[in-house]
Amino acid sequence: MIVTIVGAGRLAEGLAVRAIAGGHRLRLTDREPGKAGKLVAALVAAGAVPGSAEGEGSSLSVASVGRAIAGADVVVLALPYPEGRAVAREQGAALGGVTVVDTCNPVDFSTFDSLLTSPGRSAAEEIAAANPAARVVKAFNTTFAAALLAGQVGGLPVDVFLAGDHAQAKAQVAALVSDGGMRPVDTGPLRRARELEAFQLLHMTLQGPLGLEWASAVKLLP
């Protein structure tokens, strides 16, 4: 698959490592000039990218947002709330029929005690409303960057929880997860993103009290 990651921060780095490990072609883009290029350089220096990382034909390339999205199978919005919603709206028809992954957690960081979305509404549903033609899937919001970089926590594959209304779109994201050595967990329709976002807020608030240092992961065990 051709996977585009919009955003070049720490989460994008973890997502990029998993996508490359899964053998997918990866495009990186960021509105901040040079930021995506710096991430590519870091991935190459870390040995995450086999061979050259230059040019559209390589396994990893950098492009503008529009060019990076064109022809992509999966577009991952590795952006803080509400930037993903803005990108979905701005790109309009370019995202029609495309699997769009929302990774954000709409946390009110001024209080670190609530979500910024209205009651009964998730950030993922806002993105879907901003661009109804896109096939929005909630995923990776319960995984911290450190867990993504490793692909496992405590010797076990990371669980990646998915929510979406399009079966084919969820299947694509599930394949991306599995190819990267992790385990996809389908939680149901897109409205389940409300619970995933609320649960991750709780997960975040426990980092300090439990001394987890942002290296923990949510895992289902039999």
What are 174-222's pLDDT values in tens digits?
999 999 999 999 999 999 999 999 999 999 999 999 999 999 999 999 9
Confidence of residue 1 (pLDDT cuts 50, 70, 90): very high
Burial code (b: 16+ CB inside 10 Å, e: under 16) for 143-155 equals bbbebbbebebee
Cβ-Cβ contacts under 8 Å for 208 (sequence gap 6 or more): none
Rounded to whole angstroms, how far apart are CA atoms 65 and 86? 12
Per-residue model confidence (pLDDT) at position 85: 98
The helix-helix angle for 123-130 and 83-91 (nearest 10°) equals 20
What fold, for 2-205? Rossmann fold (3.40.50)
DSSP string computed for 106-124: -B-TTTTSSBSSPTT--HH
What are 96-126's pLDDT values in tens digits?
999 999 999 999 999 999 999 999 999 999 9
Per-residue model confidence (pLDDT) at position 49: 79
Rounded to 5 degrees, φ, ψ at 13 are: -60, -45
Confidence of residue 23 (pLDDT cuts 50, 70, 90): very high
Q: What percent of the chain has pLDDT over 70?
A: 96
